[in-house]
Every structure is written in C-alpha cells, then in structure tokens.
Amino acid sequence: MTLDELEAFGAAIGRAAAASLPCVITLGGDLGAGKTTLTRAIGRGFGVVESVTSPTFALAHEYHAAGTATLFHLDLYRINGPHELANIGWDVLDDANGLVVIEWPDRAGHLIPADALAITLAHVDGDETRRRVVW
Ligand SMILES: Nc1ncnc2c1ncn2[C@@H]1O[C@H](COP(=O)(O)OP(=O)(O)OP(=O)(O)O)[C@@H](O)[C@H]1O
Ligand SMILES: [Mg+2]
C-alpha cells in the first residue's frame, strides 16, 4: 500500500471499530514500518479529533472520540515481557467502549486477547514509499 492507501485503510478500520466496541487491534512490524501512521488513520476514522502521536516514551496514550468511545494507543517497544505489564494500564482492555491499538504486541505475549485483529506491516525492498500489509 502507498501512504494514501494505508491511511484510507486505517480510516475504514476506525469507522468499522466504532460500531463494534470493545475492539483490540495489534500492529506488528519493524521500526518505521508505519504502525503509528496507521494508528493515526484509525483514530481519524474512529472520530478522534486530537492528533495521535507516538507514545514511545509514555507507553499509553488515550484519545476521546464520540460519546464515551476511547482510543487507547499502546506502544510496548520498551517492555521486556508480559511480566512488566502487570501494573501498567493493561486494564484498558476491559473498557467496554474502548478501541485498543497495540504497537509491538509480541512484547505482551499471551496477554494479547485471542480475538484481537492482528495487522502486520512490512517494508517493501527497494520501495520506501510502499508497505506490505497482512491482516
Ligand atoms: N506506504 C507507507 N505506509 C506507511 N508509512 C509510510 C509509507 N510510505 C512512507 N511512510 C513513512 O514511513 C514512516 C513510518 O513511521 P511510523 O512512525 O508510522 O512507523 P512505526 O512502525 O510506528 O515505527 P516505530 O516502530 O518506531 O514506532 C512515516 O514517516 C511515514 O510517513
Ligand atoms: Mg510507532
């Protein structure tokens, strides 16, 4: 997908998620693959008005959409394993009106719900403008 295509894809996912909460989406893929870019597009489709930024240093960011709908954006890059997640806001998964988007889901291992929508982004050799998207 081009950047435009990825953004349209994300916005469509965000719109769909708004009608089927709660929802958990995992975004796998290397550094710079486009996980935060896709999260931002999902947020736009979900109805988030604020700008979605990279939570690398905060672990989790929370954005409000319509009514009580909330986007929780988690970036687990700095987590070393599920044991570090015990007391770090993992309860957001229980929010009935929550859309939870998780970058670096491998870090959470078995704590990722089995019914999460798994999306993986990958660079395309020789073309920095495109990404392969598997879901
Ligand atoms: N087709 C594309 N899809 C997604 N991103 C693209 C595309 N083409 C170029 N880019 C650029 O690649 C970069 C992706 O960065 P982004 O922060 O979204 O990656 P990330 O996977 O979140 O990285 P990190 O693991 O460091 O959090 C952005 O600067 C974006 O504009
Ligand atoms: Mg990121």
Whether the predicted pLDDT of 57 surpasses 90 = no
What number does the ligand 1 atom closest to the CA of 37 have?
18
Q: Tens digits of per-residue pLDDT, 74-95?
A: 999 988 888 888 766 677 888 8
The sign of the torsion formed by the CA atoms of 83, 113, 119, 58 equals negative
CA of 76 to the centre of ligand 1 (A): 16
Against a cut of 0.85, is the pTM above it?
yes
> Looking at residue 87, what is its pLDDT?
64
> Looking at residue 3, what is its pLDDT?
98
CATH class, 3-134 region = alpha beta
Give the pLDDT band of residue 7 (cuts 50, 70, 90).
very high
Token code pair at residue 52: 């979605």
Domain ranges for the chain, please list them: 3-134
> Looking at residue 39, what is its pLDDT?
97
Closest of 127, 80, 122, 111 to residue 102, by C-alpha: 111
Cα separation, 98 vs 70, whole angstroms: 5
CA of 33 to the centre of ligand 1 (A): 5
Compute φ and ψ for 97, nearest 5 degrees. -110, 25
CB of residue 105 inside a 6 A radius of ligand 1: no
Asked whether the beta carbons of 62 and 49 are under 8 A apart, the reply is no
The residue nearest atom 18 of ligand 1, judged by CA position, is 34
CA of 93 to the centre of ligand 1 (A): 25
Whether the predicted pLDDT of 58 surpasses 80 = no
> Looking at residue 52, what is its pLDDT?
82
Which of the residue ranges 19-23, 40-44, 109-113 would you say has the lowest mean pLDDT? 109-113
Asked whether the beta carbons of 38 and 4 are under 8 A apart, the reply is no
